[in-house]
Structure 1
């Protein structure tokens, strides 16, 4: 069974070969992956090391946690299991399909990846649901502007 370790606090200009050189004394049975930015292709500050056993993982954590690399102290720990987006969204209250009162903020769209995946998810603004439309108040930041618009509209309808 392989164990995945998180390696954090990596410098932005670090290459995979440099990180391999740091972990070379741990042995050849490890694999290394640096997470890079898609646009700049620079290190995002973290990566993963995969080892074959629990004992090896403990040794690497003890040996390399806090070790300096390019003036940064490495942070090495066991990687957390990857959470699935759907499970997170089902548990969150903002993913419910409750109606949003009129006058509240529009729902925000969160895009995942580069936008070409077609896997967009919407999040609704949190608010209380009310059935009586008279009790819904406009956003106080826009109340004066709304009042001016109402007066202009009333003036237009009275003057043919």
Structure 2
């Protein structure tokens, strides 16, 4: 069974050949290395993965290269967290399959924007009084008070011209 290792804090100028030569010179002949690159620029995104055959090889690689200074960057190596396979999910529900929406800082999709908006009142030219539930009167934000006063004058002028 092969084991994947995460290699982090790689310099942006790193090539796959340089990563392979580093691994070969420091650890010896091991499995394969994969450098993650930016789609647009083709440059290294700062991390990659190394695949080794045994647990002992994985421990050796981590021991030798974790904290190793490569092109003025201190490398970080650890065992990678593999994505769960479909057959493992059906046999044993994982936390990811139990909660289909992962937590984290994600932007809401465009579908949620409509849900977060306030409904706009359709007053058909009638006067609308804004009140607050707590005090009974409406106090506009002082940063916008001047603009709100102008808007109110324009609406009154428009209503009186009809």
- Residue 11 of structure 1 and its aligned partner are, at CA, apart by 0.5
How many residues matched?
134
Q: CA distance change for structure 1 residues 34 and 143 in 2, over 3 Å: closer, same or farther?
A: same
Match among 90, 108, 116 for residue 101 of structure 2? 90
| Cα distance in 1, alignment partners of residues 104 and 46 from structure 2 | 31
| Cα distance in 2, alignment partners of residues 93 and 15 from structure 1 | 31
Are the counterparts in 2 of residues 94 and 123 from structure 1 also a CA contact under 8 Å?
no
| Cα distance in 1, alignment partners of residues 70 and 105 from structure 2 | 41
| Residue-by-residue CA offset, 1:21-49 (whole Å, 9 max, x unaligned) | 01114343411111111111111110110
| Cα distance in 2, alignment partners of residues 58 and 43 from structure 1 | 25
Give matches, 1:122-137, under 5 Å: 122-123=111-112
Q: CA distance change for structure 1 residues 33 and 108 in 2, over 3 Å: closer, same or farther?
A: same
Runs of 5+ consecutive residues of structure 2 not aligned to the other structure: 85-95, 119-129
Q: 1:48 aligns to what?
A: 49
Give matches, 1:91-110, under 5 Å: 91-92=102-103, 108-109=108-109
| Residue-by-residue CA offset, 1:97-123 (whole Å, 9 max, x unaligned) | xxxxxxxxxx854xxxxxxxxxxx755
Q: 2:14 aligns to what?
A: 14
Q: CA distance change for structure 1 residues 90 and 32 in 2, over 3 Å: closer, same or farther?
A: same
The CA RMSD over aligned residues, in Å, is: 4.1
Q: 1:78 aligns to what?
A: 79
Structure 1-normalised TM-score?
Answer: 0.64
Q: 1:62 aligns to what?
A: 63
- SS of 2:150's equivalent in the other structure is helix
Greater radius of gyration (CA): 2
- SS of 2:4's equivalent in the other structure is strand
Q: 2:157 aligns to what?
A: 155
Structure 2-normalised TM-score?
Answer: 0.63
- Residue 81 of structure 1 and its aligned partner are, at CA, apart by 3.0
- SS of 1:7's equivalent in the other structure is strand
